[in-house]
Amino acid sequence: MSGSGAERSGAEEIAGLREADHRRLLETRARHPWRIAEAAAARRRRSLLEERDQVLIIAADHPARGALGVGNRPLAMGSRIDLLRRLCVALARPGVDGLLATPDVVEDLLLLGALDGKVVIGSMNRGGVQGTVFEFDDRFTAYDAGTIARMGLDGGKMLCRIGVDEPATAATLEACGRAVTELASRGLVAMVEPFWSRRVDGAVTHDLSAEGVIRSMHVCQGLGATSAHTWLKIPVVDGMEQVMRATTLPTLLLGGDPGDAPDLAYAAWRKALRLPGVRGLVVGRALLYPSDDDVAAAVDTAAAMLEAT
């Protein structure tokens, strides 16, 4: 598999997703929207961990915040049909347990029949659009707990950036706490992604020191009326042994964009996966848009890390 999404032919077939599937998807969206609910009701579900100690979740909620870039390609995720093809490849690989995405992506994949037997986590707050003056205002503009339950999804994910100089953070913390409580009351996973953050030269940056990650974890694991169903989703940083001593909650590792050094990123993931309390990986762009464009190989590499722990 070679070439960027912009270079791909619309008729190219990947993992069974053909131009005819694309056209059927467009037709269903326009004429038969109720089939989304039917597909959700018919979807075969599974528990998050099931028989495994660790899971691999593919993330695809970046576009809803306007975050379409990968490496030096600012619109790498700009083509929805190319993203769906890549997701179908990834979800079909052995060892992939599920998806984390916004309603639009989840619904496309439901209609394509790609989510049967997978864990599905709905992304909830996408209001902090990348690069805007209101980026820290992480309002809940996507899934809510009631819809996640009604659609038969397995949990909800929320981004919780704690902006040390940003008043909007208070509202985000309150909204995240409410979402944790509402998900837990339905027995659903609340996946919280914490960051200790600030603006530097106008851009939002995260404190990726062990101390910064630990501070964010302590704030976010205390959100909501109960933490019984809360999972954390944290970046892999230097000092992960110290970081993982900061919580007793199930924790997933955020893959992020490995940039020009994927081998170093993979080595860090591999090491962190061996730590107590780490329950797997949530990875998006690193696996969906690898530098060599071989999605299947990238996903297989990540899946093999879990098998080796």
Q: Is the pLDDT of residue 2 over 50?
A: no
Q: Measured between alpha carbons, how far is 193 from 182 in angstroms, rounded to an integer?
A: 17
Q: Which residue has the higher pLDDT, 13 or 22?
A: 22
Average pLDDT along the chain? 91
Q: What is the residue whose two structure tokens read 């709905």?
A: 122
Residue 296, pLDDT score: 95
Domain that holds residue 243: 5-308
Q: What is the residue whose two structure tokens read 């099931």?
A: 50
Q: What is the dihedral of CA 239, 242, 245, 249, to 10 degrees?
A: -30
Q: Measured between alpha carbons, how far is 131 from 254 in angstroms, rounded to an integer?
A: 21
Closest CA to 36 of 140, 141, 99, 106: 106
pLDDT interval class at 291 (50, 70, 90)? confident
Structure tokens at 87: 């997701």
Q: Measured between alpha carbons, how far is 254 from 108 in angstroms, rounded to an integer?
A: 24
pLDDT interval class at 255 (50, 70, 90)? confident
Q: Would you give the DSSP letter of residue 63? A: G
Residue 7, pLDDT score: 34
158-215: per-residue pLDDT in tens? Answer: 999 999 999 999 999 999 999 999 999 999 999 999 999 999 999 999 999 999 999 9
99-117: per-residue pLDDT in tens? Answer: 999 999 999 999 999 999 9
**Domain containing residue 194: CATH number:** 3.20.20.70
Q: Convert 246-265 to b/e letters by CB count within 10 Å (16 or more is b).
A: bbebbbbbbbbbbeeebeeb
Domain total in the chain:
1
